[in-house]
Amino acid sequence: MQDSNKGAAPQPLDGKGLRIGMVQARFNEEITDALAAACLGELESLGVAPADIVHVTVPGALEVPVALQALATRGGFHALVALGCIIRGETYHFELVANESGTGVSRVALDARLPIANAVLTTENHAQAVARQDEKGRDAARVAVEMAQLLARLK
């Protein structure tokens, strides 16, 4: 089987008619609110109707995969977005939360066969998170739309 997309320019991103679910962790809320605002703004600029975006919040990054799974099971979504922020502390807890959150997000995507844009930031400090919050939020929106379009073409 040949890859018919090889060497081709990427398709223009068009979110019209897409239904997107977003799960936002509230821990480090200043950062995750900025991630969510950037993501929502970009989704709308790509043509996703505000009424077609379901945005839920959970306490922290470890709860994100459970909420993603609930949305995936509910059905009707073309893509999901995971938003969160894990900042390294002085204990091993950072590694635990970062690894388990990332693994959970990937597992839900594969089990549900649904694209999930993972914008759970993992940074060394608050300044790094602030520096990444807007671009990663916008990037998550673009990834969700692009992957929804790709999976639609592959069906």
The backbone torsions φ and ψ at residue 123, rounded to the nearest 5 degrees and listed phi first, read -130, 165
Catalytic residue among 55, 78, 93, 126: 93
Q: Is residue 5 part of a domain?
A: no
In the sheet with 116-123, reading across from the earlier edge strand, the strands are 53-58, 20-25, 79-87, 116-123
Give this prediction's pTM: 0.92
Q: Residue 132 sits in a domain of what CATH number?
A: 3.40.50.960
Short-list 116, 107, 112, CA closest to 20? 116
Residue 93 annotated in active site: yes
pLDDT tens track for 140-151: 999 999 999 999
**Using CA atoms, how far apart are residues 8 and 17, in angstroms rounded to an integer?**
24
**Using CA atoms, how far apart are residues 17 and 52, in angstroms rounded to an integer?**
8
Q: Is the pLDDT of residue 122 over 90?
A: yes
Structural domain count of the chain? 1
The backbone torsions φ and ψ at residue 91, rounded to the nearest 5 degrees and listed phi first, read -125, 175
Q: Is residue 93 part of a domain?
A: yes
Confidence of residue 1 (pLDDT cuts 50, 70, 90): very low
